[in-house]
């Protein structure tokens, strides 16, 4: 049977009421636990994200994805063209994806609008810096996995890259 979360999306309930937001976050937590039992699944999601990105190959750029592991954090840098407003909105929502329907015959991960949330299996705080956007998600906040907190990026950034910093 379909998880309650998916049925909720189709309901006519006021999606902006505090009780409905809390219910969605609670439902999201159980859905994420069911979908991402392996803590390493987030790597597949990050690689799929990099594969789905847009790159300015007309200027001779070779698409790259750098994953760096340190003692207490993981850093991912990708030289994609960067986030547009729709990408920021999609990464904040659950069940919303800017790549829905694209390449569905070949994609292993993605298109469900929840893949990025798998990073919370290994981190409590996730920072994102892309183009003019710099924000974080805090796993333990009431809306921590869906409401961005606009902030300065906690590390040096690479020009022309989107960087995800997981701590």
Q: Which has the higher per-residue pLDDT, 64 or 103?
A: 64
Q: How far apart (Å, rounded) are the C-alpha atoms in residues 59 and 57?
A: 5
Average pLDDT over residues 25-50: 69
Q: Is the pLDDT of residue 36 over 80?
A: no
Contact 92, 119 (CB under 8 A): no
Q: Give the pLDDT confidence of 106-154 residue by residue, as tens digits.
A: 444 444 556 788 888 889 999 999 999 999 999 888 788 888 999 999 9
Structure tokens at 6: 């998916």
């Amino acid at each position: 049977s379909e998880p309650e979360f998916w049925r909720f999306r189709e309901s006519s309930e006021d999606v902006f009421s505090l009780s409905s937001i809390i219910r969605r976050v609670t439902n999201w937590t159980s859905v994420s636990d069911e979908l991402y039992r392996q803590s390493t699944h987030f790597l597949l999601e990050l690689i799929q994200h990099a594969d789905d990105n847009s790159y300015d190959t007309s200027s001779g750029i070779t698409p790259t994805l750098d994953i760096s592991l340190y003692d207490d954090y993981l850093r991912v840098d990708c030289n994609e063209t960067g986030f547009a407003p729709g990408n920021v909105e999609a990464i904040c929502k659950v069940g919303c994806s800017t790549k829905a329907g694209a390449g569905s015959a070949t994609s292993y991960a993605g298109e469900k609008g929840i893949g990025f949330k798998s990073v919370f299996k290994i981190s409590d705080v996730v920072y994102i810096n892309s183009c003019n956007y710099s924000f974080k998600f805090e796993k333990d906040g009431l809306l921590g996995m869906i409401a961005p907190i606009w902030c300065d990026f906690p590390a040096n950034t690479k020009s022309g890259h989107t960087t995800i910093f997981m701590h």
